[in-house]
Structure 1
Amino acid sequence: MSRVIYTPEMLEFIAAQYKLKGLPEVTAAFNKKFGSDKTVQQIRATLKNHKITCGRKTGELNKGVLRTFTDKQAEFIKQKYTELSLVELTAAFNSEFGTDKTIKQIRSFTRNHNVKSGRTGRFDKGQQSWNSGMKGWCAGGRSAETRFKKGQALNTMPLGSERLCSKDGYVMIKVAMPNKWRMKHVVEWEKHNGPIPKGYRIWFKDNVRTNWAIENLMLITRAQGAVINKMGMGTVPAELKTAAVTMADISMKRRKLSTSKQEQAA
């Protein structure tokens, strides 16, 4: 197999980027700059073959730096966590910054950086409840019609109810009783386009998993998605999504041709 040729401009770009960024970021920047589909492994090999070093001590790049959150995002979490639950905070964070963080990631940040909500979830000694001294109080209106009846499960939610999945941050919608839920974006896609074919998945154009609007959804194959993530382009902006899919197709075609040639030569 012939060796990949890098121009002096490419090598200079890689060397400059590597002094400031980690390998995944260098790879993504290189692919965007030169319209290529290099993987992290290929860029790492190039660094080694051309003896390009970052000039940093181990861990120096991330020393005092938030690895996956900017200072502005960190401050947002610290302020909002005193007002919002983790589910609400995750949704607000993704809406504010156009990200697709999961509840698990937000929870990890609060724990790793000792961010406290200030809430205990219980009444403190001597604290009065909101309905203290209001025995027999009734909310009025039609509240009596919506109260739980004797023998009715307290955790039963009606059809069409929505919640945020704590595992991956997707909006879930209840589609059948007693407890069948589906991803809202999948339901919305199928409403307009029919069932998602086997081997395909939905990609959010703005990278926000809670934005299930049909115009924000696009269909790609799972193979394309895997290659796109490998190239470090999983969160490119909406205007580059189609280009990322094209680059993934080219990469897979190139790999298939390379494998075919190797098999013929064997």
Structure 2
Amino acid sequence: MSKFIFTQEMYDYATGLYSKLSIGETTELFNKKFGTNRKPEQLRGNMKARGFRNGRTAGEIMKGVSKLFSKEQVKFIRDNYAALGRKGLTKALNDKFQTEFKVSQIVGFVKNNKINSGRTGHFQKGQPSWSKGTKGILKKNSGSFKKGNVPHNHKPVGSERINVDGYIEIKVAEPKRWEYKHRIIYKNNFGDLEVGDVVRFKDDNKLNLDPSNLIKISRAEHHFLNKLGYSDADISLKPTIELIAKIKAKESELRSTIK
């Protein structure tokens, strides 16, 4: 076996990654680029032998970071748990990030992180009933909505709107069926989307609907891009993060087939 030679090019590449990523992620990308089979401890030793110190304490890069949820998803959970509850929050989270988290995963996260909804499930002393004072007002009367009436705020098929997450939606059918415009544009230009396909914006601008700005990835890749903070990353690091997401998605797929 030939002796491993840690070149200056390898050193520059490895230290550049290790300043931002974990040693495991750094080693994955290093081996892929140089066709080597280094182990994390070996690569760390190579860098230290050259005098490199990243200045982080042990475990610092993962401190406060969820292994399951991205930073954006954690913030969304904290901000909305009190108002939505477990089931409602799970649905809202999956709708927003196009994920498939289970209620049990949300429950485990809020319990482990001691996130309190503030609800007790009991009426507080002096709290009035929700129906107090409503007697008779819900009965049918001359001003009631009649069958066939069209609400003043009705939107016809083809109408567009921007939802609370900043995506453009198009009304495609009555009474209230809306679809993401960027997915419609992708299908019109590149073909049908399969179950689990996610369409992302290359420049992260949700209003840039040019077909050249749209890219199709798997739901697993989308999950890892969010988890790795792709949207907020420096543009110089995005190609690296994209590669890590592909590696992790493939690794996850292989593990599932082995089981």
TM-score, normalising length from structure 1? 0.43
- Higher RCO (CA < 8 A, seq sep 6+): 1
